[in-house]
Amino acid sequence: MSSSTARRRRPTAAFALVAIALLSTGGVYAVATSVATPAQAETSEASPELLEEGSQLYKTGCSSCHGLDLGGVPAQATNTESESQQNGPSLIGVGAASVDFQVSTGRMPVGASGQQVVAGRSIYNEKEIAALAAYVASFAPGPAIPSQEDLDTTEASLSEGGELYRTNCAQCHNFAGQGGALSDGTYAPSLGGVSARNIWNAMLTGPQNMPVFNDTTVDPDEKRAIIKYIETIQAAPNPGGAPLGRVGPVSEGLLAWTIGLGVLIACSVWLGAKAK
Amino acid sequence: MSTTQRVVDTTANWVDERIGAGKWMKKNLRKVFPDHWSFMLGEIALYSFILLLLTGVYLTLFFNPSMKEVVYDGSYAPLQGVKMTQAYESALYISLDVRGGLLIRQLHHWAALLFVASVSVHMARVFFTGAFRKPRELNWVIGVGLMTLAILEGFSGYSLPDDLLSGTGLRITQGIILSLPLVGSYLSSFIFGGEFPGTEFIPRLYSIHILLIPGILLGLLTAHLLLVWYQKHTQFPGVGRTNKNVVGFPLFPVYTAKAGGFFFIVAGVLTMISALFTINPIWLYGPYVPDQVTAGSQPDWYIGWLDGAVRVIPNWETVLFGYYISWNVLIPALIIPGIMFTLLGLYPWIEAKATGDKREHHLLDRPRNAPTRTGLGTMAISFYALLWISGGNDIIATAFGWSINSITWTIRVLLFVLPPVVFLITKRTCLGLQRRDRDILLHGRETGIIKRSPDGEYTEVHAPVDAKTRAQLMAVRDSDYQAIEAGPDVDENGVAAPKKGRLGRALSRFYFSDRVAPATDEEISEGQHHAADQLETVRPQSSITGGGH
Amino acid sequence: MLGVVGSEGEVSDSTGGELEPRPDNAPDLGPHELRRTDTDPVAAKRAERQVALMFAGSILATVLFIVAFVTIGLTDVINIPIIGPIGAQNLALGMALGLGLFLVGAGAIHWARKLMSDEEIVDERKSFTSDPETRAKVIADFAEGAEESGVMKRPLIRRTLLGAMLVLPLPAIVLLRDLGPLPGTTLRETLWRKGSRIVTDISYRPIRPEDLPVGGLVAGALPADLKIIEEEQGNLNERAKAAIILVRMAPEEIRSQQIENGDYQGILAFSKICTHLGCPIALYQQRTKHLLCPCHQSTFDLADDGNVIFGPSARRLPQLAITVDEDGFLVAADGFREPVGPSFWERG
């Protein structure tokens, strides 16, 4: 038997094989599900070509739920999941910002129906998203996508952003933007990896159950401050060591019981065992 | 004579001439301590406590327990210019501006979590092995007291930095105090020095945390340890171990090295955990403001079961002539824990009533040999665990994508369904294990050797068990009790059965109706000889006698 | 009589603290198994070296702690794969000190296990119950002392002493009275009264109704005079009662409200203090109009009187009636009509 065959037949070989399989599967999955951040959208008037492209994309990807006239499609009588809601709500007046948010975060088009639409990888590229947004916005005025200047947080106050975040956002999204549970299976998602533009879009348009924090409730300066705080906290190092998910005492308690007690009990067993 | 020897002699002489240490030394230098890893659990608790004292002193050198409001001007940019109390500011200072401050603060907090965890596990070990029986009932009660104080101490400690998370917890505490009938609003006003949050509570909590409770803890802990020392530690049954002796290793040098070394192990592991894992990042929470809150607000783990109880209780409240009785607060926050701690404290006497046993017990039970006790213990743990899980229901909902409403309802149902099921399964398992142990004594252990007889019958050869295993298996007799059957209400002369002792008899039936009668000496020796003969037929002059089951 | 089964199968009533030796467990501890280090001097020497190495390692670690303390800065960061950027100083100080401590312990235990004698020794337990002579003497001494004091013959002394001892703890309780003021009416009152202007938290801006869109939330609103009062009083007490939220829904979506015409064009104001245990509650789910408390998941339907629809809270969330003033800013139309926050006995 050759040495390589002998190596393959060892018990550890099976373990190594499984480990390799798991790691490669995980790695492929991680790469495949990373969301592409869209580039900044144009805020200039939409050209006829853009609107035409948007119209085509809309007809094929969106009209079945939102109607050819953007007026929404009422729920079917047999559809018990959306009794009092339409199959797809009206898009009149939702604005380019809504479309930008929903489509670029992959929430729309909806994959599987459930309590809440789930973010994922967007099936459209930046140009297509811009086209869709322009098309929907052309039907009625609505919240606009923020410009580069809108999102420039250089002058924004970090500490005011923190205070605004803790008053307006932390109760749903958690003190560090890790997300939180809402009623009946819905949730406020984690803010990890969300672009500044989409944070703005979400505040502005109030997607799903999120309230609408428009520019008169939370003005643009305040929005910039909040975005600056979120980005700073997300990127900040953890002075005390591994952050354990930044969800508070639950994960800390789990660690104390598993690793803390586990290691110490292992040491106790070692201590008490008769030496050979 | 070497220098070391001379120094030791001179010192020992000096001490002996003044306090007669020689007598005490003679008795205790070679005091015997039994050896089992589970006896170290209480030591983890003790050493965590010492670490808490040491790190706590360090923290008091920097912490400022004042609720005076200041504007932050320290090194942490996201809080620049934010209003906060001096307590929070000083906690930030320790964490971010003092070299080693964060390490000591994290060590203090991790040690606190581990302190209560190890106390709980230690208590479970004492419970499941019956170490609380006579003469150790008093020590058990002291232990329950220590556990309660540890929980209170932890709660007061993590509330001191006055951050958003712990402040929310204080608000909830105030709400609980308010709910007390008749006196609630008065107590709340006295405790907080007026309205919530006021400016008095953190300083008051500070003196409770660094003086009052540690003082009581030290006193009770000393009593606890003195009792263990004086009564001698219990031991597991085994070869040469009886109810009248203690078998193990001497205090000096073995236990000095092992137990002393274990302190450094606990300290080292906790310090390394504090190096690697963040705990309680107060700079991320922000200062406590009574109109801000974070999603996923939980207390530290040892309060989690109370928070869980408060979440899962239905919204029962009675209003009588404008007076409010908030069952939805009183039941989970006061009545349930009150009942649980009372039952816990009284348990040695409850069981003593069932067994009627007035002997001293120094040999520990294997949990399987006390099925009802073990079942009650696992039942209580399952109830506790459900409440604990309920405390993190929103974190669980977020992690698994479940509905918090469904989780709440599921736990409400499970709280009634699961504990009895756990009790039954545990008890049945214990009885089954007892039967297997008895079989091993009666028939020997399985060897895996199959013998074929001339007429084609296959049997497995059994071997006798070694002395150590035999001693362990036979220990079941110490835990064996018989239920007292319910007699007739009226005896043959028309005299009614005495009321006294009725509870004891009922308890006895509850505990011991299901009993696996232990094998007698004759049955055992006959069975072991038979197994030895069997073994001889396949392995003449075999040396296969060792090994367990 | 409660039963105890003895080793011969007999059932006996066992009283007293007598300990019986068990016939099958003779004090013989069985053969002592020697360790490698007991028989092989090379193994023993190796174990000795291992212990010494651990102790020496501890010394090194302690020195490294001091070096790290002096050289690594508070804000230095180290990037660990998977975990991300963490504080370098805490990591270095903690691992150095931790190893320094751990190795001492590990060395001591290794020493005990491998090199110290592991022959088990036996000690006898003595029964705790004192012998009859001692007990008799104690009882006699006690009786003699009681006789000398005459306490049993003089009930007047006994009873008045008992009375004095029973009453003496009372001053301790009475002394605690000045821990705080009587609650008075504080639990029923907030800063809100008719005409109080509503401002946003943090920025203290007044609010016009047109500022708030349908589906919108002002997650923190306060009475305009709170800022000054808070500075004067130096505490957060008024804020803890006066905090409110504003939500806006289409007027026809309001199925029922606590105060007739308490809304303003679909804008509703509610207390932000949960009626369960006082957590601030602002998780507004705009499609369902449900307000969720993050602490214990009490859920209120803001389109329906603020009633509780799930969770442990027993009472609805109090509504604050609002209107606009002549400048067009939102103001309270009235104070709260019921006490805000958790229930208390005399809530009434």
DSSP B481-547: B-PPPP--SB-TTSPBPPSTTHHHHHHHHHHHSS--PPPPHHHHHHHHHHHHHHHHHHSTT--TT--
More confident residue, C319 or A66: C319
Interface of A with B in 108-147 (CB under 8 A): 115
Mean pLDDT, rounded, of chain A:
84
pLDDT at C7: 45
Is any Cβ of chain C less than 8 angstroms from the Cβ of B284?
Answer: no
Nearest neighbour of B110 by CB, restricted to A242, A260, A272: A260
Asked if omega into A109 is within 30° of 0 (cis), the reply is yes
Range of B10-14, B509-513, B529-533, C285-289 with top mean pLDDT: C285-289
CA distance A83 to A75: 7
Residue B153 is which amino acid?
E
Tokens of C146: 């009681």
As a whole number, mean pLDDT of residues A238-246 equals 95
C75 contacts chain B (CB < 8 A): yes
| Structure confidence at residue B207 (pLDDT) | 97
List, in sequence order, every residue forming a beta bridge with B32; answer none if it has no partner.
Answer: B250
Give contacts of A188 with chain B, Cβ < 8 Å.
295
Cβ atoms of B457 and B530 closer than 8 Å: no
Tell me whether B224 touches chain C (CB under 8 Å): no
Candidates C86, C301, C330: best to mutate against A (most CBs of A within 10 A) is C86
Q: Do residue B275 and residue A241 have CB atoms under 8 angstroms apart?
A: yes
**Token pair of A131 as six digits:** 């086209």
Answer yes or no: are the C-beta atoms of B300 and B113 closer than 8 Å.
Answer: yes
Q: Give the model's pLDDT for residue A70.
A: 87
Instruction: Classify burial at A215, counting beta carbons within 10 Å of its beta carbon; exposed 0-12, middle 13-18, buried 19 or more.
Output: middle
Mean pLDDT of chain B: 92
Out of B16-30, B216-230, C8-22, pick the least confident. Answer: C8-22
CA dist C312 and B513 (Å) reads: 41
CB-CB neighbors (< 8 A) of A255 in chain B: 273, 277
Taking the C-alpha atoms of residue C341 and residue B178, their distance in angstroms, rounded to an integer, is 10
Closest CA to A100 of A171, A195, A18: A195
Distance from CA of A229 to the nearest CA of B (A): 7
Distance, in Å, from the CA atom of B354 to the CA atom of B358, rounded to the nearest integer, reads: 11
Q: In the A/B pair of chains, how many CB contacts fall below 8 A?
A: 203
Across the interface, whether the CB atoms of A271 and B295 are under 8 A apart is answered no
The nearest alpha carbon in chain C to B316 belongs to C314
Q: Does B100 touch chain C (CB under 8 A)?
A: yes
Distance CA B128, CA C75 (A): 49
Q: Which tens digits make up the pLDDT trace of B276-320?
A: 999 999 999 999 999 999 999 999 999 999 999 999 999 999 999
pLDDT digits (tens, 9 = 90+) for C2-33: 334 444 434 333 333 334 444 444 457 777 88
ipTM of the assembly? 0.91
If you measure CA to CA, which chain B residue comes closest to C114? B254
Return phi, psi of residue C119, to 5°. Answer: -80, 130
**What percentage of chain A carries pLDDT values higher than 90?**
53
Q: How far are the Cα atoms of A219, B71, B537, C235 from residue C205, in angstroms, in the given order?
A: 11, 21, 97, 21
Taking an 8 Å cut-off on Cβ atoms, the answer to whether B323 and C116 are in contact is no
Residue B505 has pLDDT above 90, yes or no: no
Distance CA A259, CA A242 (A): 14
Searching chain B, which residue's CA lies closest to the CA of residue A240? B278
Tell me how long chain C is: 348
pLDDT, average across residues A209-220? 93
pLDDT surpassing 70 at residue A211: yes
Within 78-107 of A, beta carbons closer than 8 Å to B belong to none
Sign of the torsion formed by the C-alpha atoms of B95, B98, B99 and B105: negative
3-state secondary structure of A91: coil
> In this complex, which chains have at least 3 CB pairs below 8 Å with chain C?
A, B
Confidence (pLDDT) at C13: 37
Burial class (CB within 10 angstroms; exposed 0-12, middle 13-18, buried 19+) of B240? middle
Chains that touch B (3 or more CB pairs under 8 A): A, C
> What are B384's two structure tokens?
């506790």
Cα separation of A257 and A251, whole Å? Answer: 10
CB-based contacts of A108: which residues, under 8 Å, 6+ apart?
A62, A99, A102, A117
> pLDDT at position B270, please?
98
Rounded distance, CA B545 to CA C164, Å? 73
**Helix H or strand E segment including C339:** none
pLDDT in the model for residue B240: 86
Cα angle for residues C268, C270, C274 (degrees, 5° grid): 150
Assess contact for A185 and A253: CB atoms under 8 A. Answer: no
More confident residue, C31 or B124: B124
3-class SS of residue C299: strand
Q: B78 vs A256: CB contact, 8 Å cut-off? A: no
pLDDT in tens, B192-205: 999 999 999 999 99
Q: Is the dihedral of CA B498, B501, B507, B513 positive or negative?
A: negative
C118 pLDDT band, cuts 50/70/90, is: confident
Size of interface A-C (CB pairs under 8 A): 113
Mean pLDDT of A108-126: 80
- A15-24, B244-253, B508-517, C313-322, range with the lowest pLDDT: A15-24
Give the B:C interface size as CB pairs under 8 Å: 382
Report the half-sphere exposure of C190 (CA within 13 A, side-chain side). 28
Ranking A59-63, B63-67, B181-185, C266-270 by mean pLDDT, the lowest is A59-63
- The answer, for C217 touching chain B at a CB cutoff of 8 Å, is no
Nearest of B217, B206, B254 to residue B34 by alpha carbon? B254
pLDDT at residue C230 greater than cutoff 70: yes
Quote the pLDDT of residue C27.
Answer: 58
Nearest to A240 among C84, C87, C310 (CB): C87
Contact B397 A252 (CB under 8 A): no
State the burial class of residue B228 (Cβ atoms within 10 Å of its Cβ: 0-12, 13-18, 19+). middle
| C residues 5..64 contacting B (CB < 8 A) | 5, 7-9, 11, 13-30
Q: Name the residue facing C213 among A212, A222, A275 (closest C-beta).
A: A212
Alpha helices in B98-183 (DSSP H): 101-128, 137-159, 164-178
pLDDT at B546 over 60: no
Q: How far is A11 from chain B (nearest CA, A)?
A: 25
Partner residue facing B521 (CB), from C24, C107, C243? C24
pLDDT at position A198 is: 95
> Tokens 């917890």 sit at which residue?
B169
Instruction: For residues B209 and B226, give the distance between their C-alpha atoms in angstroms, rounded to a whole number.
Output: 25
Instruction: Average the pLDDT over A69-81 and give the result.
Output: 66
Of the candidates B349, B333, B325, the one whose C-alpha atom is nearest the C-alpha of residue B132 is B349
Distance between CA atoms of residues B47 and B67, nearest Å: 32
Say yes or no for a CB contact (<8 Å) between C22 and B292: no
B193: alpha, beta or left, given left = phi > 0 and alpha = psi -120 to 50? left
Q: Of A30-34, A164-168, B67-71, B86-90, which range is least confident?
A: A30-34
Quick one: average pLDDT of C158-176? Answer: 95
Backbone angles phi, psi at C4, to 5 degrees: -125, 130
Contact B284 A176 (CB under 8 A): yes
Residue B342 has pLDDT above 50, yes or no: yes
Are C86 and A210 a contacting pair at CB < 8 A? Answer: no
Query: B292 to chain A: which residues are within 8 Å by CB?
Result: 166-167, 170-171
Q: Which residue among A180, A242, A264 places its CB closest to the CB of B295?
A: A180
A164 CB neighbours in chain C (<8 A) are 202-203
- Chain B: residue whose CA lies nearest to C62: B268
Chain B residue whose CA is closest to A173: B295
| H or E element that contains B63 | none
Instruction: Note the pLDDT of residue B547.
Output: 47
- Kindly report, residue by residue over C42-70, the tens digit of the pLDDT: 999 999 999 999 999 999 999 999 999 99
Q: Is the pLDDT of residue A42 over 70?
A: no
* Of C2, A245, C41, nearest in space to B392 by CA: A245
Distance CA(B547)–CA(B447), nearest Å, equals: 10
Distance CA A193, CA C171 (A): 62
Query: Given A238, A240, A274, which is nearest C118 (Cβ)?
Result: A274
- A22-36, A39-53, C315-329 — most confident range: C315-329
Partner B contacted by A36 (CB < 8 A): no
Nearest one of C320, C331, C322, C335 to C195, comparing CA atoms: C331
Confirm or reject contact between A258 and chain B (CB < 8 A). Answer: no
Q: What is the mean pLDDT of chain C?
A: 90
